[in-house]
């Protein structure tokens, strides 16, 4: 019994043979050629990815597998392009609209969309009437009808959605909103399952999962987020923002900033010289020292236990937010949520209010901490 792929190839070879006889385009040396039979009928083929090519005959395009010469689709499409994803799916156009076929030649979604592109690893964004939604990458099921002016993948479970200048967050697998479309800023990413990065009017911001604004002002760039501080950039200069309350530990006036082994202290460089700041927004050493000297000065600086306590609180707060994320947003009552809750409820954490909140999550979601 013929396989599906062999049937397609056999039928297509017959079609090509008839086409060649009518058009008289086959070269005389074709019978002795070792080239692909595609070479006899078209010089127009386009690289799609490492395994597949698009070929053109009579103004229409199809797809074939390069090493086996298997026909994936007949030349019936007006245009074909690779989708920028991790899967061998291809966008195909008919009559000005896009659809998707996979590497088996199966139609994932018919050509009914104004545009299609990969959005994360598990979804394709689709556009209709100028608005965007998304479909599943395997089934082609429409998860979210096109109702948004823009969509972007935040992570595997969350999708950023916007209507004009207001944005929110939706569950990727259902389209259900978990943050309403009311925020003045596009949600771009999520650090350590705890802190959002947002973009608005050319500036970047940070906000935690409980909608507490970390950065009070916007910056031209967020360089790095940790549990204790945010490295920011403005006018090509670096600064530091203190986690939780958003105070500037160091204004963005420095050429370089580095963590130090002592919690709550940072090296700052300006005009080729090093200084240091502390977590209480104090410039404890002006920028006039060499790197080894400033390390020695800070190391011998009086130990300040309150810096360690603040940094410890930031650590446990971030762990609480991580558990909150998995339980509230991802419906995952698993090892990550349990691990984070155990850390918050440990004897090392001295903050009773945070422990109370963690116990509320344990009770609400019936989390087994054993």
Contacts 24+ apart (CB under 8 A), 244-253: 244/212, 244/214, 244/313, 244/314, 244/317, 246/213, 246/214, 246/215, 246/216, 247/281, 248/281, 249/277, 249/278, 249/279, 249/281, 250/277, 250/281, 250/283, 252/219
- Give tens-digit pLDDT for 211-255: 999 998 999 999 999 989 999 999 999 999 998 788 999 999 999
- Give tens-digit pLDDT for 350-369: 999 999 999 999 999 999 99
* Residue closest to 311 by CA, chosen among 231, 236, 234, 243: 243
State the pLDDT at residue 44.
76
Residue 171 above 70 pLDDT?
yes
The two structure tokens encoding residue 347: 């004897």
State the pLDDT at residue 188.
95
Contacts 24+ apart (CB under 8 A), 213-221: 213/246, 214/241, 214/243, 214/244, 214/246, 215/241, 215/246, 216/246, 219/252
Give me the residue spans of the domains in the chain: 1-84, 255-303, 306-364
State the pLDDT at residue 211.
93
Mean predicted confidence (pLDDT) in 58-79: 91
Tell me the Cα Rg of the chain: 29
- Give tens-digit pLDDT for 270-313: 999 999 999 999 999 999 999 999 999 998 888 778 888 888 89
Mean predicted confidence (pLDDT) in 29-53: 61
Choose the weakest-confidence range: 74-78, 191-195, 325-329: 325-329
Q: How confident is the model at residue 90 (pLDDT cuts 50, 70, 90)?
A: very high
Instruction: Name residues whose C-beta falls within 8 Å of residue 146's C-beta, 6 or more positions apart in sequence.
Output: 126, 127, 128, 129, 131, 132, 133
Choose the weakest-confidence range: 7-16, 81-90, 94-103, 138-147: 7-16
State the pLDDT at residue 88.
84
């Amino acid at each position: 019994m013929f396989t599906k792929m062999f049937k397609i190839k056999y039928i297509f070879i017959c079609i090509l043979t008839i086409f060649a006889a009518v058009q008289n385009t086959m070269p005389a040396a074709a019978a002795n050629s070792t080239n692909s039979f595609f070479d006899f009928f078209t010089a127009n083929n386009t690289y799609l990815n490492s395994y597949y090519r698009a070929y053109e005959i009579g103004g229409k395009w199809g797809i074939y597998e390069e090493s086996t010469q298997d026909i994936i689709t007949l030349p019936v499409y007006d245009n074909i392009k690779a989708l920028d994803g991790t899967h061998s799916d291809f966008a195909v156009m008919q009559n000005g609209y896009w659809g998707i076929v996979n590497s088996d030649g199966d139609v994932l979604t018919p050509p009914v969309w104004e545009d299609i592109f990969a959005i994360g690893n598990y979804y394709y964004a689709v556009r209709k009437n100028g608005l965007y939604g998304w479909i599943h990458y395997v089934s082609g099921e429409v998860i979210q009808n096109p109702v948004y002016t823009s969509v972007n993948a935040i992570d595997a479970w969350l999708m950023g959605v916007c209507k004009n200048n207001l944005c929110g967050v939706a569950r990727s697998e259902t389209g259900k909103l978990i943050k309403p479309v009311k925020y003045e800023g596009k949600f771009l990413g999520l650090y350590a399952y705890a802190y959002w990065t947002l973009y608005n009017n050319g500036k970047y911001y940070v906000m935690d999962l409980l909608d507490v604004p970390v950065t009070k002002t916007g910056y031209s760039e967020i360089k790095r987020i940790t549990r204790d501080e945010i490295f920011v950039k403005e006018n090509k200069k670096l600064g530091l923002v203190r986690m939780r309350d958003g105070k500037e530990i160091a204004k963005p006036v420095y050429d370089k900033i580095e963590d130090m082994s002592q919690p709550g202290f940072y090296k700052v460089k300006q005009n080729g010289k090093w200084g240091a700041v502390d977590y209480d927004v104090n410039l404890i050493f002006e920028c006039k020292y060499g790197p080894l000297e400033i390390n020695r000065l800070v190391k011998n600086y009086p130990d300040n236990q309150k810096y360690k306590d603040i940094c410890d609180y930031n650590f446990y707060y971030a762990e609480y937010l991580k558990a909150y994320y998995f339980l509230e947003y991802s419906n995952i009552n698993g090892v990550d949520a349990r691990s984070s809750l155990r850390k918050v409820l440990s004897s090392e954490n001295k903050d009773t209010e945070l422990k109370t909140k963690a116990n509320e999550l344990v009770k609400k979601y019936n989390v087994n901490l054993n």
